[in-house]
């Protein structure tokens, strides 16, 4: 009876360790990035831009310009439109 209790406790510890390891690996592999880009036009984008960063393609991340605004946070935008490139030059 005591042997069964010890084995059961050991099994629970091993199971919990496996679950914890899987969860930690999943959390460590999450990379915040743009996986899709917005096709906003300059007319639709009216928030003042306070900063930007270039994101290179590294799947699942796509190549994008990320504009930062005070009011609504960050926006992932296609880097190719002329207005986006002009905004980057101004910053």
What pLDDT digit, counting tens, does each position of 24-48 carry? 444 444 558 888 887 777 777 788 9
Domain ranges of the chain: 1-30, 33-91
What is the three-class DSSP state of 39?
coil
Give the CA diameter of the chain: 76
Q: Does domain 33-91 have CATH number 2.40.160.60?
A: no
What are the tokens at 26? 């999943």
Half-sphere exposure of 12 (CA within 13 A, CB side): 6
Report field, pTM of the whole predicted structure over 0.75: no
Neighbours of 62 (CB within 10 A): 17
pLDDT per residue of the chain (91 residues) written in tens, 0 to 9: 677 776 666 555 556 555 655 544 444 445 588 888 877 777 777 889 999 999 999 888 999 999 999 888 888 989 899 989 998 998 8
Separation CA 49–CA 12 (nearest Å): 53
């Amino acid at each position: 009876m005591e042997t069964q209790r010890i084995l059961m406790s050991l099994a629970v510890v091993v199971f919990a360790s496996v679950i914890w390891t899987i969860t930690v690996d999943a959390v460590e592999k999450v990379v915040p990035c743009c996986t899709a880009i917005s096709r906003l036009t300059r007319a639709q984008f009216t928030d003042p831009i306070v900063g930007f960063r270039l994101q290179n393609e590294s799947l699942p991340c796509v190549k994008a310009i990320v504009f930062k605004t005070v009011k609504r946070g960050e926006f992932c935008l296609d880097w190719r439109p002329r207005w986006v490139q002009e905004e980057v030059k101004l910053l």
